[in-house]
């Protein structure tokens, strides 16, 4: 006989009964457990926005909604609303589960905003895998607010870095069985810190249109080699840009603007965005890779600032490589920076000009909008 527990107006099945009889999705938030569609109808106005977003989505999923509207990040253009099917989300969750061999005994942590696709997909994984998930505020150091150990967690680089710098959070980070990092490429410094601390983690590759990631690269001492999830087909167009075909990305192939080096039918190296490639006198330069090479030097001379390389129109060469720093001008440090960059960058990778901006333009999800920042210079 099933025992019914009542607490704060929320009805849920006794956890001991659930785990003993059959697996079932369970969302934990502030000492309460939510499992059924009717549980998520309890949505008082005082709840934070990220909780409202989670409850609203879980209820829609559990009552069987077939399509969901989602805004793209706007990192390479104007954000737009797209429709994502239930089948796409299920395929993504099953592909990730197959890759990591997760099951109903896995315990998940959602520390990303469920208003965005990455947070939503953590909830979907828990519902598809029929397992536990804990919901916490999407703060910079989310592990500082949890007591449990987790089997599967998704974070952005900022959260991982903050966790590495906090001793208590670091120990929890080390206990995570499967840590995936997305939202932006990890820095060389973060990569080195993860390896140094013996933390096994994966960098994700994906976008809203592919319903979270379609490939993962294990973070180690070697270059990041992305392996596709089961059932994902990949290839290149005439530019060398990646195309994707999979159940999670919908019925039609998706053509990206991501330049890749195809290593096999299921693996690739990411080179950068077609949008950002600089053609300087016939020499192609990849800003994202140059940024990684320059990271240590820029951090040493301008600690804690954001920066990016960009291509500026130049009559003689077509384009010239320039560097943007999110700080105020400092002539003394610029001279030092130029000298130090010459030690780590190739001849053609050195910026022809350095621009200073007190504040970069950013997308709603916090990514640097390079084009808008450049145009406002």
pLDDT in tens, 216-247: 999 999 989 999 999 999 999 999 999 999 99
As a whole number, mean pLDDT of residues 294-310 equals 94
**pLDDT digits over 54-75, tens only?**
999 999 999 999 999 887 765 4
Distance CA 89, CA 82 (A): 13
pLDDT at 138: 95
**pTM of the predicted model as reported, rounded to 2 decimal places:** 0.80
Tokens of 302: 């301008």
Pairing of strands 254-264, 241-245: antiparallel
275, with CB counted inside 10 A (0-12, 13-18, 19+), is middle
pLDDT at residue 165 greater than cutoff 50: yes
| Pair 180, 153: CB distance under 8 Å | yes
Measuring CA to CA, how many Å separate 205 from each of 26, 159, 218, 229, 269?
Answer: 28, 18, 11, 10, 11
**pLDDT digits over 187-197, tens only?**
888 999 999 99
Could you give the percent of the chain with pLDDT greater than 70?
A: 92
Measuring CA to CA, how many Å separate 113 from each of 64, 81, 190, 207, 216?
Answer: 22, 17, 22, 15, 21
Distance CA 104, CA 87 (A): 20
> How sure is the predictor about 7, in pLDDT bands with cuts at 50, 70 and 90?
very low
**pLDDT digits over 95-147, tens only?**
999 999 999 999 999 999 999 999 999 999 999 999 999 999 999 999 998 98
- Any residues with CB less than 8 A from the CB of 207 and at least 6 apart, and which? 72, 73, 256
Distance CA 134, CA 143 (A): 11
Tokens of 111: 């520390």
pLDDT at 189: 86
**Rg, the chain, Cα only:** 22
* Best CA proximity match to 39, nearest among 2, 13, 67, 64: 13
Say how far residue 217 (Cα) sits from the centre of its chain: 13
Enumerate domains of the chain plus CATH numbers.
4-273 (3.40.50.12780), 277-375 (3.30.300.30)
């Amino acid at each position: 006989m099933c025992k019914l527990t009542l607490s704060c107006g929320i009805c849920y099945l006794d956890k001991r009964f659930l785990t003993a009889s059959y697996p079932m999705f369970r969302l934990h938030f502030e000492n309460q457990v939510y499992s059924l569609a009717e549980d998520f109808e309890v949505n008082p106005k005082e709840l934070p926005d990220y909780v409202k977003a989670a409850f609203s989505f879980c209820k829609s999923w559990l009552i069987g909604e077939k399509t969901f509207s989602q805004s793209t990040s706007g990192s390479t253009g104007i954000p737009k609303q797209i429709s994502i099917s239930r089948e796409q989300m299920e395929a993504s969750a099953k592909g990730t589960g197959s890759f990591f061999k997760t099951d109903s005994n896995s315990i998940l942590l959602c520390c990303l905003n469920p208003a965005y696709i990455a947070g939503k997909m953590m909830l979907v994984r828990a519902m598809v895998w029929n397992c536990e998930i804990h919901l916490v505020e999407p703060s910079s150091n989310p592990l500082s607010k949890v007591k449990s150990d987790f089997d599967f967690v998704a974070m952005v680089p900022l959260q991982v870095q903050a966790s590495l710098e906090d001793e208590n959070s670091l120990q929890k980070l080390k206990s995570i069985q499967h840590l995936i990092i997305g939202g932006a490429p990890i820095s060389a410094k973060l990569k080195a810190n993860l390896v140094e601390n013996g933390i096994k983690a994966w960098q994700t590759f994906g976008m809203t249109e592919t319903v979270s990631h379609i490939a993962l690269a294990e973070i180690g001492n070697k270059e990041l080699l992305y392996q596709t999830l089961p059932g994902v087909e990949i290839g290149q167009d005439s530019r060398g840009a990646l195309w994707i075909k999979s159940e999670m990305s919908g019925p039609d192939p998706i053509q990206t603007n991501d330049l890749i080096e195809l290593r096999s039918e299921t693996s690739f190296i990411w080179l950068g965005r077609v949008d950002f490639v600089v053609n300087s006198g016939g020499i192609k330069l990849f800003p994202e890779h140059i940024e990684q090479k320059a990271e240590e030097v820029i951090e040493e001379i301008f600690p804690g600032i954001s920066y990016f390389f960009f291509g500026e129109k130049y009559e003689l060469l077509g384009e010239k490589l320039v560097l943007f720093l999110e700080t105020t001008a400092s002539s003394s440090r610029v001279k030092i920076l130029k000298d130090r960059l010459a030690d780590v960058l190739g001849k053609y990778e050195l910026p022809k000009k350095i621009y200073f901006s007190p504040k970069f333009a950013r997308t709603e999800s916090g990514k640097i909008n390079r084009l808008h920042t450049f145009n406002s210079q």
